[in-house]
Amino acid sequence: MTALAVALASAAALAWQILLVRLFAIEQFHHFAYMAVGVAMLGYGASGTLVALLRPRRATWVASWFAGAAALTAVTLAAVPVAVGRLSVDPTQLAWQPSQWARLGLVYALLAVPFAAAALVTLLALVREPARTGRLYGASFVGAGLGAAAALAGLALAPPPRALAVPVLLAAAGAVCGAWTLANRRARLGVAVVGAAVAVVVLTRPVWRLDVLPYKGLPQALALPQAERVADQASPTGWLVAVRAPALRFAPGLSLAYRGPFPTQTGLFVDGDAIGAATTWDDSTVSLLDWLPAGLPYALGSRHRVLVLAAGGGMDLPAALAHGAHEVTAVELHGAVAALATPRWLEARAGVHVRWVTGDVRSAAAGMAATHDLVTLAPTGAPGHAAAGIHALDEDFDHTVDAYARFLRLLAPGGVFAVTTWLSLPPRGEVRAVLTVAAALRRLNPAAAARGMLVVRSWGTVTVLAKPEGFTAADLAAIEAWTAERWFDVDWRPGLERPATRFNVLEPPAVFEAAHAAATSAAAADAFADAYPLRVAPATDARPYPHHALGLGALARFIGPDRGALLPFAEWGVIALVATLAQCLVLAAVFVLLPVAVRGPPPGPGSFGVLLAYFGAIGLGYLAAELAAIQQLTLLLGHPVYAASAVLTVLLVSSGLGAAWSDRLDWRPTALAFTLAAGLTLVALALLGVLHAMQGFPLALRALGATLLLAPLGVAMGMPFPLGLRALAGGDRPRVAWAWAINGFASVVAAPLAALVGLELGSPRVFALAALAYGVAGLAVPAARRGPRATGTAIV
């Protein structure tokens, strides 16, 4: 029953974490969600500090605390969301309103309580039954893995506020199990009643009221006169809402020369952010589409077979249909978006066939043949979002050199690849797109970049066309005529020696200079990227951050007196990540080092430094490996939610099995840590190649492949903690508590740290960091030290 209570409490905590991130991402922004939940998870470590300082001596106290912590987990999981909902935090005002920080601090503290309570359940179980360390720790892992799966199941079945009932129910069940371990029957009954009451409350009314920040696209649209919500659908990959309002219009980069009418449109929003619109078809639609950058590729002549990537909500699919394409394949991740965005009347027209592929762009492209006359990729998000760094932290495997090279290979002879980005000031996303297209062309043919690239800029967008065979004189003449009529500029065409801007002045002419360098040679392109004031070198699958342009060194200027003037450069995702790391480091030091300094280190075998180094290193190593696996498997599984659920479930459950197995082993922690370091080094070197080889498989096979890759790693990574606990703490309660606290804090600090390493150096280096951490853990423990093999009987 103890192991079951531990598993349920851990399941509840992880499910709650996943759902909180989703809820905050919808209500606020993704990076705020990361910061708020990331810092609150310090509650895990704080539980260890609490037990280490209070040092419960009697077995009955430990038993009571255990049952109480299980009940507290259930109660706080239900109560904290209600309290947090009453605190109004506006993250957009954090930079200049100190009162917002006080509210945010209170949110951190409140959110940390359920994490601390759930962690306390596992820790007290370990303290209570040290002989079953591996099994209890394993139960925690397995529970957490199943909690991740339960959260996703909840998101699939209900909107996120309702899905919050899942962790509460799990915790309530855990509370009942915890109560069952008590000798006192009245106490047992009391806790069971509390657990059941909490379950009834959350089933009858949601504990969270969705309150989306008013500056996000969805509330703005809903506030428009005569706005009407016409679709509302929640799924694990996002909350889709469609809004119809007369004042809603979407025409990205529309020519200033356009004087025609506008069609009726329905705005599409995922997690509260605008992603595009579904356009009603009439004569005005066709008229408009020829004056958008999306119409540019058709200036080169008819394109019969067109592949539209990330099609939902963009104008590329309507443009293909309006320009006479006969056969269109549209790839879209969100099935509901596809259903809303399809212009059905045109589908019914004789000779026109639209095929929707629901799934991620890379996997879809991996399974296609080279038969397309045109492949298009539309801009991401709303104007300003890319430049604002809203997506700076997002892995985006659609805009890497590897991706563009794959898209180019889907072209039939004479085919063209087109990618459009929003213009950012100073230019960065568009400069990177130019360099990336050139690098991809060069992969196909070293001479292709010089004659096969063309760049057109409107007042607000940049479109790069790539034709591996090279553009002909007739092609160039057609493009010149089309763009001149629309007051667009040809920023680059083969052979151009100086900027030829006529309509849209860009000073300095960064797009021309990038294209000129990129067309000259790979070395010139590299030199240009190195000399550019912002990061614009092409992204790769190993480091898939095409929306990240600001070096970390610049962040210090955002806390200086000129921060208002620097707002346009801010990458809020990165700033939140650094802020999270800084806050976690400070709080971890306060909760670990300060109590040790005040009360002195715990007595026992080995110094406190050994505990700190070993349990800190394995906490860091585990989280770094987990994060790197999520980053890389996003490529394989097509969406971070799928990758996170696969990694969390498989890795945690297999780690749990490994931990439970460790009870039967008398391995040395040192040998295991070095083995893990070697294994993770191998993963760092080989994983990406393996994933590329599996890219074209059906999703079920890719998921199976991911499981087979992760499970052995998970089994091994589940062992160092229980083996280390036996070797370094034995049954000593304060040492167990300190080991738990150190491991908990290191895990929480490791999350933003590993994310920063991934952002700056790439996912393989994050695996390398994990390998290094396990190596340090191996060195920290005296080589001969090993713990007694578990006997299966309780010491307390």
Task: Give contact residues for another protein (rule: CB under 8 A).
Answer: 90, 92-93, 95-97, 214-215, 219-220, 223-225, 246-247, 249-254, 256-260, 262, 382-385, 387-390, 422-427, 459-460, 487, 502-508, 533-534, 550-551, 553-554, 557, 564-570, 572
Kindly tell me the sign of the dihedral angle through the C-alpha atoms of 137, 142, 146, 151: positive
Asked whether 512 and 435 are in contact (CB, 8 A), the reply is no
Query: Which of 445, 501 has the CB closer to another protein?
Result: 501
3-state secondary structure (DSSP) of residue 606: coil
Query: Which of 552, 685 has the CB closer to another protein?
Result: 552
| Angle (CA) 173 210 207, round 5° | 25
Q: Strand locations in 597-637, DSSP E?
A: none
Shortest Cβ distance from residue 104 to another protein (Å)? Answer: 16
Transcribe 763-792 into DSSP letters: HHHHHHHHHHHHHHHHHHS-TT--PPPP-S
Which residues does residue 82 pair with via DSSP β-bridges, in sequence order? Answer: none
Shortest Cβ distance from residue 572 to another protein (Å)? Answer: 7
Query: Which of 97, 607 has the CB closer to another protein?
Result: 97
Token pair, residue 729, equals: 């703490």
Asked whether 374 and 407 are in contact (CB, 8 A), the reply is no
Query: Which of 385, 668 has the CB closer to another protein?
Result: 385
Asked whether 131 and 56 are in contact (CB, 8 A), the reply is no
Kindly tell me the sign of the dihedral angle through the C-alpha atoms of 557, 562, 566, 571: positive
Query: Which of 214, 324 has the CB closer to another protein?
Result: 214
- Taking the C-alpha atoms of residue 219 and residue 211, their distance in angstroms, rounded to an integer, is 10
Report whether the peptide linkage leading into residue 426 is cis, meaning its omega lies within 30 degrees of zero. Answer: yes
Shortest Cβ distance from residue 565 to another protein (Å)? Answer: 5
- Taking the C-alpha atoms of residue 728 and residue 28, their distance in angstroms, rounded to an integer, is 43
Query: Which of 550, 687 has the CB closer to another protein?
Result: 550
Residue type, 759: L
Shortest Cβ distance from residue 602 to another protein (Å)? Answer: 46
Residue labelled with tokens 């005529």: 481
User: Distances in Å between the alpha carbon of 138 and those of 82, 311, 527, 614, 755?
Assistant: 32, 44, 51, 19, 26
Query: Which of 105, 214 has the CB closer to another protein?
Result: 214
Query: Which of 387, 617 has the CB closer to another protein?
Result: 387
Shortest Cβ distance from residue 25 to another protein (Å)? Answer: 16
Query: Which of 402, 489 has the CB closer to another protein?
Result: 489
Shortest Cβ distance from residue 98 to another protein (Å)? Answer: 10
Shortest Cβ distance from residue 245 to another protein (Å)? Answer: 10
Query: Which of 104, 627 has the CB closer to another protein?
Result: 104
Token pair, residue 185, equals: 């029957």
Query: Which of 4, 224 has the CB closer to another protein?
Result: 224
Closest by Cα among 181, 173, 175 to 70: 175
Shortest Cβ distance from residue 191 to another protein (Å)? Answer: 44
Asked whether 462 and 455 are in contact (CB, 8 A), the reply is yes
Query: Which of 92, 184 has the CB closer to another protein?
Result: 92
Name the pairing type of β-strands 353-358 and 327-332.
parallel
Element (H, E) at 168: helix 165-180
Shortest Cβ distance from residue 375 to another protein (Å)? Answer: 23
3-state secondary structure (DSSP) of residue 69: helix
Shortest Cβ distance from residue 219 to another protein (Å)? Answer: 5
Closest by Cα among 331, 333, 251 to 295: 251
Shortest Cβ distance from residue 99 to another protein (Å)? Answer: 10
Residue type, 126: L
User: Distances in Å between the alpha carbon of 571 and those of 263, 391, 537, 549, 597?
Assistant: 35, 8, 17, 8, 38
Shortest Cβ distance from residue 394 to another protein (Å)? Answer: 15
Shortest Cβ distance from residue 564 to another protein (Å)? Answer: 4
Backbone phi and psi for residue 238, each to the nearest 5 degrees, phi listed first:
160, 160
- Taking the C-alpha atoms of residue 372 and residue 651, their distance in angstroms, rounded to an integer, is 40
| Angle (CA) 356 247 346, round 5° | 30
Shortest Cβ distance from residue 261 to another protein (Å)? Answer: 9
Query: Which of 575, 637 has the CB closer to another protein?
Result: 575
Query: Which of 501, 520 has the CB closer to another protein?
Result: 501
- Taking the C-alpha atoms of residue 354 and residue 346, their distance in angstroms, rounded to an integer, is 9
Query: Which of 569, 614 has the CB closer to another protein?
Result: 569
- Taking the C-alpha atoms of residue 136 and residue 121, their distance in angstroms, rounded to an integer, is 10
- Taking the C-alpha atoms of residue 560 and residue 781, their distance in angstroms, rounded to an integer, is 44
Shortest Cβ distance from residue 627 to another protein (Å)? Answer: 26
Enumerate residues 6+ apart whose C-beta is below 8 A from 59.
128, 796
